[in-house]
Structure 1
Protein backbone atom coordinates (compact mmCIF):
# COMPACT_ATOMS: atom_id res chain seq x y z
CA UNK A 1 0.00 0.00 0.00
CA UNK A 2 1.00 3.61 -0.58
CA UNK A 3 -0.17 6.05 2.09
CA UNK A 4 -0.09 9.80 2.66
CA UNK A 5 -1.55 12.29 5.08
CA UNK A 6 -4.82 13.99 4.21
CA UNK A 7 -4.41 17.44 2.66
CA UNK A 8 -1.13 19.13 1.84
CA UNK A 9 2.08 17.29 2.63
CA UNK A 10 5.77 18.01 2.39
CA UNK A 11 7.26 15.94 -0.42
CA UNK A 12 10.74 16.64 0.92
CA UNK A 13 10.03 15.09 4.32
CA UNK A 14 11.73 11.73 5.04
CA UNK A 15 9.67 8.75 3.94
CA UNK A 16 8.72 5.94 6.28
CA UNK A 17 7.58 2.36 5.96
CA UNK A 18 5.07 0.46 8.09
CA UNK A 19 4.80 -3.30 8.44
CA UNK A 20 1.46 -4.63 9.70
CA UNK A 21 0.81 -8.19 10.86
CA UNK A 22 -2.94 -8.95 10.96
CA UNK A 23 -2.74 -12.64 11.82
CA UNK A 24 -5.16 -13.43 14.68
CA UNK A 25 -3.34 -13.24 17.99
CA UNK A 26 -0.24 -11.68 16.40
CA UNK A 27 -1.58 -8.26 15.45
CA UNK A 28 1.22 -5.70 15.42
CA UNK A 29 2.57 -2.59 13.67
CA UNK A 30 6.20 -1.58 13.12
CA UNK A 31 7.52 1.66 11.62
CA UNK A 32 10.89 2.65 10.19
CA UNK A 33 12.71 5.13 7.96
CA UNK A 34 12.73 4.51 4.19
CA UNK A 35 15.93 5.93 2.65
CA UNK A 36 15.15 4.32 -0.72
CA UNK A 37 12.74 1.87 -2.34
CA UNK A 38 15.32 -0.92 -2.30
CA UNK A 39 15.36 -0.71 1.50
CA UNK A 40 11.98 -2.45 1.53
CA UNK A 41 13.86 -5.69 0.85
CA UNK A 42 15.59 -5.28 4.21
CA UNK A 43 12.19 -4.83 5.83
CA UNK A 44 10.69 -7.91 4.19
CA UNK A 45 13.69 -10.10 5.05
CA UNK A 46 13.70 -8.89 8.66
CA UNK A 47 17.07 -7.16 8.44
CA UNK A 48 15.36 -3.91 9.49
CA UNK A 49 12.93 -4.71 12.30
CA UNK A 50 11.79 -1.12 12.71
CA UNK A 51 10.17 0.20 15.88
CA UNK A 52 7.04 -1.44 17.33
CA UNK A 53 4.02 0.84 17.77
CA UNK A 54 0.89 0.45 19.85
CA UNK A 55 -0.95 3.16 17.88
CA UNK A 56 -3.53 1.83 15.40
CA UNK A 57 -3.50 2.94 11.77
CA UNK A 58 -6.64 4.12 9.94
CA UNK A 59 -6.68 3.99 6.14
CA UNK A 60 -9.20 5.59 3.77
CA UNK A 61 -8.99 4.63 0.09
CA UNK A 62 -8.86 7.75 -2.12
CA UNK A 63 -7.35 6.09 -5.20
CA UNK A 64 -9.32 7.87 -7.91
CA UNK A 65 -7.25 6.59 -10.83
CA UNK A 66 -8.59 3.07 -10.33
CA UNK A 67 -12.18 4.23 -9.83
CA UNK A 68 -13.31 7.83 -9.38
CA UNK A 69 -15.84 6.77 -6.71
CA UNK A 70 -12.98 6.08 -4.29
CA UNK A 71 -11.79 9.69 -4.57
CA UNK A 72 -15.23 11.31 -4.75
CA UNK A 73 -16.51 9.53 -1.64
CA UNK A 74 -13.20 8.71 0.03
CA UNK A 75 -11.74 12.19 0.47
CA UNK A 76 -14.65 13.59 2.53
CA UNK A 77 -14.43 10.51 4.75
CA UNK A 78 -10.66 10.94 5.07
CA UNK A 79 -11.13 14.60 6.01
CA UNK A 80 -13.62 13.73 8.76
CA UNK A 81 -11.44 10.94 10.16
CA UNK A 82 -8.29 13.10 10.03
CA UNK A 83 -10.08 15.85 11.94
CA UNK A 84 -10.76 13.41 14.79
CA UNK A 85 -7.57 11.32 14.59
CA UNK A 86 -4.90 13.33 12.70
CA UNK A 87 -1.94 11.20 13.80
CA UNK A 88 -3.56 7.89 12.89
CA UNK A 89 -5.34 8.68 9.62
CA UNK A 90 -3.88 8.12 6.16
CA UNK A 91 -5.20 8.26 2.61
CA UNK A 92 -4.22 5.10 0.79
CA UNK A 93 -4.03 3.41 -2.58
CA UNK A 94 -6.55 0.81 -3.79
CA UNK A 95 -7.87 -1.63 -1.18
CA UNK A 96 -10.44 -3.46 -3.35
CA UNK A 97 -14.20 -3.30 -3.42
CA UNK A 98 -14.78 -0.05 -5.31
CA UNK A 99 -18.54 -0.59 -5.03
CA UNK A 100 -18.23 -0.10 -1.26
CA UNK A 101 -16.67 3.38 -1.48
CA UNK A 102 -15.78 5.05 0.74
CA UNK A 103 -13.68 2.22 2.10
CA UNK A 104 -12.02 2.41 5.51
CA UNK A 105 -9.49 -0.10 6.90
CA UNK A 106 -8.55 -0.25 10.58
CA UNK A 107 -5.18 -1.79 11.39
CA UNK A 108 -3.66 -3.94 12.76
CA UNK A 109 -6.83 -6.10 12.87
CA UNK A 110 -7.49 -5.52 9.14
CA UNK A 111 -11.11 -4.47 9.64
CA UNK A 112 -12.72 -3.38 6.36
CA UNK A 113 -15.67 -0.96 6.35
CA UNK A 114 -17.65 0.29 3.37
CA UNK A 115 -20.27 2.92 2.46
CA UNK A 116 -19.18 4.91 5.50
CA UNK A 117 -20.62 8.46 5.59
CA UNK A 118 -18.25 11.18 6.84
CA UNK A 119 -20.56 11.82 9.79
CA UNK A 120 -20.01 8.26 11.07
CA UNK A 121 -16.41 7.52 10.14
CA UNK A 122 -14.88 8.67 13.47
CA UNK A 123 -17.30 6.36 15.29
CA UNK A 124 -15.59 3.35 13.69
CA UNK A 125 -12.25 4.37 15.19
CA UNK A 126 -13.77 5.14 18.58
CA UNK A 127 -15.44 1.75 18.75
CA UNK A 128 -12.25 0.08 17.59
CA UNK A 129 -10.44 1.63 20.54
CA UNK A 130 -13.08 -0.05 22.71
CA UNK A 131 -12.40 -3.37 20.99
CA UNK A 132 -15.73 -3.43 19.15
CA UNK A 133 -17.03 -3.63 15.58
CA UNK A 134 -19.73 -1.40 14.06
CA UNK A 135 -21.79 -4.00 12.22
CA UNK A 136 -23.76 -1.52 10.10
CA UNK A 137 -20.82 -0.72 7.79
CA UNK A 138 -18.61 -3.75 8.40
CA UNK A 139 -17.31 -5.57 5.30
CA UNK A 140 -15.29 -8.19 7.16
CA UNK A 141 -11.76 -8.85 8.36
CA UNK A 142 -8.94 -9.22 5.86
CA UNK A 143 -7.36 -11.75 8.24
CA UNK A 144 -9.96 -14.37 7.21
CA UNK A 145 -11.21 -15.83 3.90
CA UNK A 146 -14.61 -14.63 2.60
CA UNK A 147 -16.63 -17.65 3.77
CA UNK A 148 -15.38 -17.15 7.33
CA UNK A 149 -16.20 -13.44 7.10
CA UNK A 150 -19.72 -14.41 6.04
CA UNK A 151 -20.11 -16.84 8.95
CA UNK A 152 -18.93 -14.15 11.35
CA UNK A 153 -21.40 -11.67 9.88
CA UNK A 154 -24.38 -13.99 10.37
CA UNK A 155 -23.27 -14.77 13.93
CA UNK A 156 -23.00 -11.08 14.82
CA UNK A 157 -26.33 -10.31 13.15
CA UNK A 158 -27.87 -13.07 15.27
CA UNK A 159 -26.72 -11.39 18.48
CA UNK A 160 -23.31 -12.89 19.15
CA UNK A 161 -20.34 -10.81 20.26
CA UNK A 162 -19.28 -7.63 18.45
CA UNK A 163 -15.84 -7.84 20.08
CA UNK A 164 -13.00 -7.51 17.58
CA UNK A 165 -11.25 -10.64 18.88
CA UNK A 166 -14.38 -12.80 19.15
CA UNK A 167 -15.76 -15.26 16.58
CA UNK A 168 -12.43 -16.61 15.41
CA UNK A 169 -12.59 -19.83 13.36
CA UNK A 170 -11.75 -23.09 15.11
CA UNK A 171 -12.48 -25.40 12.19
CA UNK A 172 -13.62 -25.03 8.59
CA UNK A 173 -15.10 -27.83 6.48
CA UNK A 174 -15.98 -27.38 2.81
CA UNK A 175 -19.17 -29.36 2.25
CA UNK A 176 -19.49 -28.54 -1.47
CA UNK A 177 -17.69 -26.28 -3.97
CA UNK A 178 -19.55 -23.22 -2.65
CA UNK A 179 -20.73 -24.36 0.79
CA UNK A 180 -18.84 -24.26 4.10
CA UNK A 181 -19.39 -25.46 7.67
CA UNK A 182 -17.58 -23.01 9.99
CA UNK A 183 -17.07 -23.41 13.76
CA UNK A 184 -16.47 -20.15 15.60
CA UNK A 185 -15.26 -19.42 19.14
CA UNK A 186 -17.73 -16.85 20.46
CA UNK A 187 -15.49 -15.31 23.15
CA UNK A 188 -12.01 -13.76 22.77
CA UNK A 189 -10.68 -15.80 25.68
CA UNK A 190 -11.64 -19.14 24.11
CA UNK A 191 -8.48 -21.16 23.46
CA UNK A 192 -7.92 -21.71 19.75
CA UNK A 193 -5.84 -24.47 18.16
CA UNK A 194 -2.65 -23.39 16.42
CA UNK A 195 -4.00 -24.62 13.07
CA UNK A 196 -7.07 -22.35 13.08
CA UNK A 197 -7.62 -21.43 9.45
CA UNK A 198 -6.78 -17.98 8.12
CA UNK A 199 -6.51 -16.52 4.66
CA UNK A 200 -6.32 -13.36 2.63
CA UNK A 201 -9.11 -11.15 1.28
CA UNK A 202 -9.51 -11.32 -2.49
CA UNK A 203 -9.31 -8.00 -4.33
CA UNK A 204 -12.99 -7.11 -4.51
CA UNK A 205 -14.38 -9.07 -1.62
CA UNK A 206 -16.89 -7.79 0.85
CA UNK A 207 -19.50 -9.88 2.54
CA UNK A 208 -22.86 -9.33 0.89
CA UNK A 209 -25.29 -11.18 3.12
CA UNK A 210 -29.01 -11.68 3.33
CA UNK A 211 -30.72 -9.57 6.05
CA UNK A 212 -31.09 -11.22 9.43
CA UNK A 213 -33.81 -10.38 11.94
CA UNK A 214 -32.84 -8.72 15.20
CA UNK A 215 -32.54 -10.92 18.27
CA UNK A 216 -34.59 -10.37 21.47
CA UNK A 217 -32.46 -9.37 24.51
CA UNK A 218 -33.24 -12.58 26.42
CA UNK A 219 -32.17 -14.73 23.48
CA UNK A 220 -29.00 -12.67 23.01
CA UNK A 221 -28.16 -13.20 26.68
CA UNK A 222 -28.44 -16.96 26.22
CA UNK A 223 -26.21 -16.79 23.15
CA UNK A 224 -23.56 -14.91 25.13
CA UNK A 225 -22.99 -18.00 27.30
CA UNK A 226 -22.21 -20.28 24.33
CA UNK A 227 -18.48 -20.93 23.72
CA UNK A 228 -18.52 -22.43 20.23
CA UNK A 229 -21.10 -22.16 17.45
CA UNK A 230 -21.54 -23.75 14.02
CA UNK A 231 -22.48 -21.65 10.99
CA UNK A 232 -23.14 -23.02 7.51
CA UNK A 233 -22.91 -20.60 4.59
CA UNK A 234 -23.21 -20.85 0.82
CA UNK A 235 -21.94 -18.50 -1.90
CA UNK A 236 -23.53 -17.73 -5.25
CA UNK A 237 -23.18 -15.10 -7.94
CA UNK A 238 -25.82 -12.39 -8.25
CA UNK A 239 -26.34 -10.19 -11.31
CA UNK A 240 -26.85 -6.49 -10.59
CA UNK A 241 -28.73 -4.60 -13.31
CA UNK A 242 -26.82 -1.38 -12.97
CA UNK A 243 -23.36 0.17 -12.71
CA UNK A 244 -21.94 -0.52 -9.26
CA UNK A 245 -19.09 2.01 -9.39
CA UNK A 246 -18.14 5.17 -11.27
CA UNK A 247 -15.94 3.20 -13.68
CA UNK A 248 -17.99 0.01 -14.14
CA UNK A 249 -20.67 -0.74 -16.70
CA UNK A 250 -23.97 -2.58 -16.22
CA UNK A 251 -24.70 -5.34 -15.60
CA UNK A 252 -22.43 -6.38 -12.77
CA UNK A 253 -21.91 -9.66 -10.97
CA UNK A 254 -21.13 -10.01 -7.28
CA UNK A 255 -20.72 -12.92 -4.91
CA UNK A 256 -23.36 -13.14 -2.20
CA UNK A 257 -23.41 -15.38 0.87
CA UNK A 258 -26.51 -16.87 2.48
CA UNK A 259 -27.06 -18.64 5.77
CA UNK A 260 -28.24 -22.15 4.92
CA UNK A 261 -29.09 -23.51 8.37
CA UNK A 262 -29.85 -22.17 11.83
CA UNK A 263 -26.82 -21.19 13.89
CA UNK A 264 -26.39 -23.63 16.75
CA UNK A 265 -23.96 -24.47 19.55
CA UNK A 266 -21.23 -26.82 18.41
Structure 2
Protein backbone atom coordinates (compact mmCIF):
# COMPACT_ATOMS: atom_id res chain seq x y z
CA UNK A 1 0.00 0.00 0.00
CA UNK A 2 1.27 3.49 -0.77
CA UNK A 3 0.44 6.77 0.90
CA UNK A 4 -1.45 9.46 -1.00
CA UNK A 5 0.34 12.68 -1.83
CA UNK A 6 -1.76 15.76 -1.05
CA UNK A 7 -2.55 17.73 -4.22
CA UNK A 8 -1.28 20.93 -2.59
CA UNK A 9 2.29 19.62 -2.81
CA UNK A 10 2.39 20.47 -6.51
CA UNK A 11 5.86 19.41 -7.52
CA UNK A 12 5.65 16.29 -5.32
CA UNK A 13 2.50 14.93 -6.96
CA UNK A 14 2.56 11.60 -8.77
CA UNK A 15 -0.27 12.39 -11.20
CA UNK A 16 1.57 15.15 -13.08
CA UNK A 17 5.09 15.40 -14.47
CA UNK A 18 7.68 16.79 -12.06
CA UNK A 19 8.31 20.48 -12.57
CA UNK A 20 10.41 23.15 -10.87
CA UNK A 21 8.94 24.51 -7.62
CA UNK A 22 9.33 28.13 -8.64
CA UNK A 23 12.11 30.69 -8.52
CA UNK A 24 14.38 32.22 -5.92
CA UNK A 25 12.62 35.56 -5.88
CA UNK A 26 12.56 38.10 -3.07
CA UNK A 27 9.71 36.33 -1.28
CA UNK A 28 11.74 33.19 -0.56
CA UNK A 29 12.85 32.64 3.04
CA UNK A 30 16.45 31.81 2.09
CA UNK A 31 16.72 34.98 -0.02
CA UNK A 32 15.43 37.11 2.84
CA UNK A 33 17.70 35.38 5.36
CA UNK A 34 20.76 36.16 3.26
CA UNK A 35 19.69 39.78 2.90
CA UNK A 36 19.34 40.00 6.70
CA UNK A 37 22.66 38.13 7.16
CA UNK A 38 21.00 35.61 9.48
CA UNK A 39 23.56 33.51 11.31
CA UNK A 40 23.16 29.72 11.37
CA UNK A 41 25.47 29.30 14.37
CA UNK A 42 24.13 26.85 16.99
CA UNK A 43 21.18 25.62 14.92
CA UNK A 44 22.09 21.93 14.54
CA UNK A 45 19.43 19.40 15.60
CA UNK A 46 19.44 17.90 19.12
CA UNK A 47 19.29 14.24 18.03
CA UNK A 48 22.52 12.43 17.18
CA UNK A 49 21.29 9.05 15.90
CA UNK A 50 19.84 8.56 12.43
CA UNK A 51 17.86 6.12 10.31
CA UNK A 52 18.35 6.71 6.58
CA UNK A 53 15.80 5.03 4.29
CA UNK A 54 16.35 4.97 0.55
CA UNK A 55 13.04 6.04 -0.99
CA UNK A 56 13.19 7.54 -4.51
CA UNK A 57 10.31 9.41 -6.05
CA UNK A 58 8.17 12.19 -4.59
CA UNK A 59 7.98 13.14 -0.91
CA UNK A 60 5.07 15.11 0.53
CA UNK A 61 5.46 17.54 3.41
CA UNK A 62 5.50 14.63 5.87
CA UNK A 63 8.07 12.62 3.94
CA UNK A 64 7.81 9.22 5.61
CA UNK A 65 4.00 9.18 5.60
CA UNK A 66 3.63 10.88 2.21
CA UNK A 67 5.87 8.84 -0.06
CA UNK A 68 5.97 5.38 -1.55
CA UNK A 69 7.04 3.92 1.79
CA UNK A 70 4.56 1.35 3.18
CA UNK A 71 1.72 3.43 4.66
CA UNK A 72 0.92 0.83 7.32
CA UNK A 73 4.51 0.61 8.47
CA UNK A 74 5.24 4.36 8.47
CA UNK A 75 3.41 5.33 11.71
CA UNK A 76 4.83 2.33 13.57
CA UNK A 77 8.34 3.21 12.44
CA UNK A 78 7.85 6.83 13.47
CA UNK A 79 6.72 5.67 16.92
CA UNK A 80 9.78 3.47 17.34
CA UNK A 81 12.09 6.26 16.24
CA UNK A 82 10.54 8.65 18.75
CA UNK A 83 10.90 6.12 21.57
CA UNK A 84 14.55 5.48 20.78
CA UNK A 85 15.55 9.07 20.00
CA UNK A 86 16.40 8.38 16.37
CA UNK A 87 15.86 10.86 13.50
CA UNK A 88 14.33 9.32 10.34
CA UNK A 89 15.42 10.74 6.99
CA UNK A 90 14.39 9.59 3.54
CA UNK A 91 17.24 9.59 1.04
CA UNK A 92 17.55 9.21 -2.73
CA UNK A 93 20.22 9.54 -5.37
CA UNK A 94 20.63 13.08 -6.72
CA UNK A 95 18.36 13.55 -9.72
CA UNK A 96 16.78 10.08 -9.52
CA UNK A 97 13.30 11.25 -8.58
CA UNK A 98 11.55 8.22 -10.08
CA UNK A 99 14.37 5.66 -10.16
CA UNK A 100 13.97 2.17 -8.78
CA UNK A 101 15.21 1.90 -5.22
CA UNK A 102 17.99 -0.40 -4.09
CA UNK A 103 15.95 -0.63 -0.85
CA UNK A 104 18.99 0.40 1.14
CA UNK A 105 18.84 1.73 4.65
CA UNK A 106 21.45 2.85 7.12
CA UNK A 107 21.87 3.46 10.81
CA UNK A 108 24.18 6.31 11.76
CA UNK A 109 25.50 7.30 15.17
CA UNK A 110 26.99 10.77 15.65
CA UNK A 111 27.71 10.55 19.37
CA UNK A 112 31.35 11.34 20.17
CA UNK A 113 33.38 8.17 20.37
CA UNK A 114 30.66 6.11 18.66
CA UNK A 115 30.67 7.69 15.22
CA UNK A 116 29.74 5.34 12.42
CA UNK A 117 27.30 4.65 9.58
CA UNK A 118 26.27 1.16 8.46
CA UNK A 119 24.37 0.32 5.23
CA UNK A 120 21.96 -2.62 4.89
CA UNK A 121 19.29 -3.76 2.39
CA UNK A 122 15.68 -4.44 3.37
CA UNK A 123 13.42 -6.96 1.65
CA UNK A 124 10.32 -5.12 2.90
CA UNK A 125 9.73 -1.82 4.68
CA UNK A 126 8.43 -3.74 7.71
CA UNK A 127 11.95 -5.13 8.23
CA UNK A 128 12.91 -1.77 9.73
CA UNK A 129 10.48 -2.30 12.63
CA UNK A 130 12.65 -5.08 14.09
CA UNK A 131 16.09 -4.39 12.65
CA UNK A 132 18.70 -3.42 15.26
CA UNK A 133 19.59 0.26 15.31
CA UNK A 134 22.98 -0.05 16.93
CA UNK A 135 25.54 -0.63 14.17
CA UNK A 136 25.57 -4.40 14.71
CA UNK A 137 24.32 -5.11 11.16
CA UNK A 138 25.28 -3.77 7.76
CA UNK A 139 28.44 -2.64 6.04
CA UNK A 140 30.31 0.28 7.54
CA UNK A 141 30.69 3.32 5.29
CA UNK A 142 34.42 3.96 4.92
CA UNK A 143 34.33 7.75 4.81
CA UNK A 144 32.07 10.78 4.98
CA UNK A 145 28.45 10.64 3.82
CA UNK A 146 26.93 13.91 2.57
CA UNK A 147 23.17 14.49 2.82
CA UNK A 148 21.75 17.53 1.02
CA UNK A 149 18.23 18.61 1.97
CA UNK A 150 16.16 18.78 -1.23
CA UNK A 151 12.75 18.44 0.42
CA UNK A 152 10.74 20.84 -1.71
CA UNK A 153 7.48 19.48 -0.32
CA UNK A 154 8.49 21.00 2.99
CA UNK A 155 9.98 24.25 1.69
CA UNK A 156 10.66 25.36 -1.87
CA UNK A 157 14.07 26.82 -0.95
CA UNK A 158 15.29 23.35 -0.02
CA UNK A 159 14.62 22.15 -3.57
CA UNK A 160 15.67 25.31 -5.38
CA UNK A 161 19.04 25.51 -3.64
CA UNK A 162 19.51 21.89 -2.56
CA UNK A 163 19.00 20.00 -5.80
CA UNK A 164 21.76 21.81 -7.73
CA UNK A 165 24.13 21.32 -4.78
CA UNK A 166 23.37 17.60 -4.52
CA UNK A 167 24.10 17.10 -8.23
CA UNK A 168 27.33 19.13 -8.17
CA UNK A 169 28.83 18.16 -4.80
CA UNK A 170 32.29 16.64 -5.41
CA UNK A 171 33.02 13.45 -3.48
CA UNK A 172 35.11 10.29 -3.83
CA UNK A 173 32.14 8.30 -5.16
CA UNK A 174 28.41 8.50 -5.89
CA UNK A 175 27.55 6.44 -2.80
CA UNK A 176 28.75 9.32 -0.63
CA UNK A 177 26.16 11.93 -1.72
CA UNK A 178 22.39 11.70 -1.21
CA UNK A 179 19.39 13.97 -1.37
CA UNK A 180 17.48 13.83 1.92
CA UNK A 181 14.23 14.93 3.50
CA UNK A 182 13.80 17.86 5.90
CA UNK A 183 16.87 18.76 7.96
CA UNK A 184 15.54 21.95 9.54
CA UNK A 185 16.55 25.58 9.13
CA UNK A 186 14.91 26.06 5.72
CA UNK A 187 16.06 29.67 5.51
CA UNK A 188 19.68 28.46 5.56
CA UNK A 189 19.28 26.45 2.34
CA UNK A 190 21.26 24.90 0.82
CA UNK A 191 21.56 22.74 3.94
CA UNK A 192 24.04 19.89 4.21
CA UNK A 193 24.52 17.21 6.88
CA UNK A 194 27.86 15.40 7.06
CA UNK A 195 27.73 11.97 8.69
CA UNK A 196 28.79 10.14 10.73
CA UNK A 197 29.89 13.07 12.92
CA UNK A 198 26.64 14.96 12.40
CA UNK A 199 27.93 18.35 11.27
CA UNK A 200 25.24 20.68 9.90
CA UNK A 201 26.11 23.28 7.27
CA UNK A 202 23.93 26.06 5.86
CA UNK A 203 24.06 28.51 2.95
CA UNK A 204 26.63 26.20 1.36
CA UNK A 205 28.18 28.05 -1.59
CA UNK A 206 28.93 26.84 -5.11
CA UNK A 207 29.32 23.11 -5.54
CA UNK A 208 30.12 22.53 -1.85
CA UNK A 209 33.71 21.69 -2.70
CA UNK A 210 35.08 23.77 0.17
CA UNK A 211 33.10 21.73 2.69
CA UNK A 212 34.18 18.43 1.12
CA UNK A 213 37.83 19.53 1.02
CA UNK A 214 37.71 20.49 4.70
CA UNK A 215 36.30 17.12 5.73
CA UNK A 216 38.87 15.34 3.59
CA UNK A 217 41.37 16.98 5.98
CA UNK A 218 39.17 15.94 8.97
CA UNK A 219 38.36 19.58 9.57
CA UNK A 220 35.15 21.61 9.68
CA UNK A 221 34.37 24.36 7.15
CA UNK A 222 33.74 27.02 9.77
CA UNK A 223 32.18 29.84 7.66
CA UNK A 224 29.13 27.68 6.89
CA UNK A 225 29.05 25.47 10.00
CA UNK A 226 25.72 25.49 11.85
CA UNK A 227 26.89 23.11 14.57
CA UNK A 228 27.15 19.47 15.53
CA UNK A 229 24.04 17.34 16.09
CA UNK A 230 23.38 16.28 19.66
CA UNK A 231 25.39 19.13 21.19
CA UNK A 232 23.45 21.63 23.32
CA UNK A 233 22.94 24.96 21.55
CA UNK A 234 25.10 26.99 24.01
CA UNK A 235 27.94 24.50 23.52
CA UNK A 236 27.55 24.69 19.73
CA UNK A 237 27.91 28.45 19.93
CA UNK A 238 30.88 28.22 22.29
CA UNK A 239 32.62 25.68 20.05
CA UNK A 240 32.11 27.93 17.03
CA UNK A 241 33.62 31.00 18.68
CA UNK A 242 36.48 29.02 20.24
CA UNK A 243 37.32 27.48 16.86
CA UNK A 244 37.31 30.98 15.39
CA UNK A 245 39.53 32.46 18.09
CA UNK A 246 41.94 29.54 18.51
CA UNK A 247 42.05 28.22 14.94
CA UNK A 248 41.10 24.69 16.07
CA UNK A 249 39.21 23.21 13.12
CA UNK A 250 39.64 19.46 13.66
CA UNK A 251 36.37 17.53 13.68
CA UNK A 252 37.16 16.19 17.15
CA UNK A 253 38.52 19.43 18.62
CA UNK A 254 36.95 21.20 21.62
CA UNK A 255 34.49 18.61 22.97
CA UNK A 256 32.16 20.15 25.57
CA UNK A 257 32.78 19.35 29.24
CA UNK A 258 29.98 21.36 30.84
CA UNK A 259 27.34 24.05 30.36
CA UNK A 260 26.40 26.34 33.27
CA UNK A 261 23.56 28.93 33.11
CA UNK A 262 24.53 32.44 34.22
CA UNK A 263 22.45 35.51 35.12
CA UNK A 264 21.83 37.81 32.18
CA UNK A 265 21.61 41.58 32.30
CA UNK A 266 19.32 41.94 29.27
CA UNK A 267 15.59 41.25 29.12
CA UNK A 268 14.86 38.10 27.14
CA UNK A 269 18.53 37.16 26.92
CA UNK A 270 20.05 33.93 28.23
CA UNK A 271 23.70 33.51 29.18
CA UNK A 272 25.90 30.44 29.71
CA UNK A 273 29.44 29.55 30.66
CA UNK A 274 30.61 26.63 28.53
CA UNK A 275 33.69 24.57 29.35
CA UNK A 276 35.46 22.85 26.44
CA UNK A 277 38.39 20.44 26.36
CA UNK A 278 41.29 22.23 24.69
CA UNK A 279 44.55 20.94 23.27
CA UNK A 280 47.27 19.39 25.48
CA UNK A 281 44.92 19.05 28.43
CA UNK A 282 43.97 22.73 28.54
CA UNK A 283 40.47 23.88 29.41
CA UNK A 284 38.72 26.54 27.33
CA UNK A 285 35.95 28.54 29.01
CA UNK A 286 33.59 30.50 26.77
CA UNK A 287 30.76 32.81 27.85
CA UNK A 288 27.97 33.08 25.29
CA UNK A 289 24.63 34.86 25.28
CA UNK A 290 21.49 34.24 23.24
CA UNK A 291 19.14 37.15 22.51
CA UNK A 292 15.82 37.39 20.67
CA UNK A 293 15.94 39.31 17.42
CA UNK A 294 14.41 42.80 17.68
CA UNK A 295 12.21 42.22 14.62
CA UNK A 296 9.90 39.36 13.69
CA UNK A 297 10.50 37.56 10.42
CA UNK A 298 9.03 34.71 8.38
CA UNK A 299 11.30 31.74 8.99
CA UNK A 300 10.06 29.54 6.13
CA UNK A 301 8.45 30.14 2.76
CA UNK A 302 5.19 28.65 4.01
CA UNK A 303 5.08 30.48 7.35
CA UNK A 304 1.83 32.38 7.86
CA UNK A 305 2.99 34.24 10.96
CA UNK A 306 6.27 35.94 11.77
CA UNK A 307 8.50 34.91 14.65
CA UNK A 308 11.70 35.95 16.36
CA UNK A 309 15.03 34.23 15.91
CA UNK A 310 17.67 33.81 18.62
CA UNK A 311 21.04 35.35 17.92
CA UNK A 312 24.25 34.16 19.60
CA UNK A 313 26.95 36.43 20.95
CA UNK A 314 30.48 35.68 22.17
CA UNK A 315 31.18 37.56 25.41
CA UNK A 316 34.45 36.09 26.71
CA UNK A 317 36.99 33.33 26.17
CA UNK A 318 39.75 32.19 28.51
CA UNK A 319 42.15 29.26 28.37
CA UNK A 320 43.68 27.70 31.43
CA UNK A 321 45.78 24.62 32.11
CA UNK A 322 43.90 21.44 32.89
CA UNK A 323 44.21 19.57 36.18
CA UNK A 324 47.66 18.16 36.91
CA UNK A 325 47.61 14.34 37.04
CA UNK A 326 48.38 13.09 40.44
**Do Structure 1 and Structure 2 share a fold, with TM-score over 0.5?**
yes
Cα deviation, 1:98-147, whole Å, max 9, x if unaligned, reads 1100001100010101001224x022112112111111111111131111
Runs of 4+ aligned structure 1 residues displaced above 6 Å come to none
Counterpart CA distance in 2 for 1:73 and 1:245 is: 14
User: Contact (CA 8 Å) 1:6, 1:82: kept in 2 or not?
Assistant: no
Aligned residue for 1:179? 271
Counterpart CA distance in 2 for 1:157 and 1:46 is: 34
Aligned residue for 1:222? none
Counterpart CA distance in 1 for 2:121 and 2:199 is: 26
Matches within 5 A, 1:148-167: 148-167=235-254
Q: Determine if the alignment matches structure 1 residue 18 to structure 2 residue 131.
A: no
Counterpart CA distance in 1 for 2:94 and 2:313 is: 38
CA RMSD of superposed structures (Å): 2.4
Counterpart CA distance in 2 for 1:158 and 1:45 is: 38
Q: Structure 1 length normalisation: TM-score?
A: 0.77
Which residue, 199, 205, 208 being the options, matches 1:117? 205
User: Contact (CA 8 Å) 2:95, 2:163: kept in 1 or not?
Assistant: no
Q: Determine if the alignment matches structure 1 residue 169 to structure 2 residue 256.
A: yes
User: Contact (CA 8 Å) 2:171, 2:212: kept in 1 or not?
Assistant: no
Cα deviation, 1:163-207, whole Å, max 9, x if unaligned, reads 1100101222222483221111123x75xxxxxxxxxxxxxxxxx
Which residue, 157, 167, 171 being the options, matches 1:79? 167
Gaps of 5+ in 1: 191-226
**Matched pairs, number:** 228
User: Contact (CA 8 Å) 2:107, 2:135: kept in 1 or not?
Assistant: no
Counterpart CA distance in 1 for 2:173 and 2:136 is: 28
Which residue, 305, 309, 322 being the options, matches 1:254? 309
Q: Structure 2 length normalisation: TM-score?
A: 0.64
Larger Rg: 2
Aligned residue for 1:2? 90
Aligned residue for 1:35? 123
CA spacing shift, 1:84–1:7, aligned 2, 3 Å: farther
Cα deviation, 1:43-71, whole Å, max 9, x if unaligned, reads 24659622222232100000011111111
Gaps of 5+ in 2: 1-88, 265-269, 322-326
- Secondary structure at the residue paired with 1:158? helix
